[in-house]
Amino acid sequence: MKILIIRFSSIGDIVLTTPVVRCLKKQIKDSEVHYLTKEKFKQVLCENPYIDKLHLYNSNYKELLPTLRKEKFSMVTDGLKL
């Protein structure tokens, strides 16, 4: 299962999603977890061992959308809504 977690808001909200990422990786066998956030929050997530791929948004969604579509995610969610 390929999962995309999206979180653009504050660093605090992003930090609150890290347990969700860990639980997804541990509880869903063979899961691949991707995370989409703003470029300015990269440092908060780039060393997280449970994130397989980090996608960064820097105000040009037209460049980002084709890349995300190619991934063919099984699930896309807001990190705090799980």
CATH for 34: 3.40.50.2000
* Per-residue model confidence as pLDDT tens digits over 8-50: 888 898 998 899 999 999 999 999 999 999 999 999 999 999 9
* Per-residue model confidence as pLDDT tens digits over 41-57: 999 999 999 999 999 98
CA distance 42 to 81: 21
The count of domains in the chain is 1
Cβ atoms of 57 and 37 within 8 Å: the answer is: yes
Domain housing 56: 2-78
Consecutive H or E run containing 36 = strand 32-38
